Amino acid sequence: MTCIIDLAFVSNSVVHIYQETANWFDEFEELLPEDEDDEDEGRTSIDKAMVNKWALALASDPMYLTSKQREYLLEKLAGQEFSKLPTFEVLRRAETIFQADFRQVAEEKLSDEIRQLREQGLNLNAIALKLGISRDRVSGLVSAIPKKR
């Protein structure tokens, strides 16, 4: 069952977000013990501008596409501010922003890198190791690269 739907997109460097919650989920939340409700109240006081700032910084990072440790990448970007960040919200928003705005360009750049490495004579395993991605991913991207005539 779907309980919450989040819809987000970026237009003119502004993130637009819409959230819809199922009626049954609101009733379910009322049944939860009080201490969990306190955590929910803490979430409502999250600084959305701060979440958007760090989510955009994370999603636009060149390492985002290939990173398996995005929380660590966020920690490197945020430095001392990391401990103050609502990590889950930033990571979730970053994924939304990345999918909407950066994925296509990042995939094209990665494909270009793979093509250049193939032209240098590297095999799929060497490329995967160099780029920090799986061999299967490299293979899939190589097959999508148009052949030169």
Query: Of residues 41 and 25, which shows the higher confidence score?
Result: 25
Looking at residue 100, the DSSP 8-state letter turns out to be: I
Q: 50 is written with which tokens?
A: 């701060």
CA neighbor of 74 nearest in space, from 40, 59, 24:
59
Residue 135, CA distances (Å) to 67, 68, 83, 121 in order: 15, 15, 35, 16
Residue 76, CA distances (Å) to 41, 80, 120 in order: 28, 9, 32
* Domain ranges within the chain, ordered by starting residue: 4-144
What's the pTM?
0.57
pLDDT tens track for 46-91: 888 999 999 999 999 988 988 889 999 999 999 999 999 999 999 9
Query: Of residues 32 and 96, which shows the higher confidence score?
Result: 96
Model confidence at 37, pLDDT cuts 50, 70, 90, reads: very low
Query: Of residues 24 and 76, which shows the higher confidence score?
Result: 76
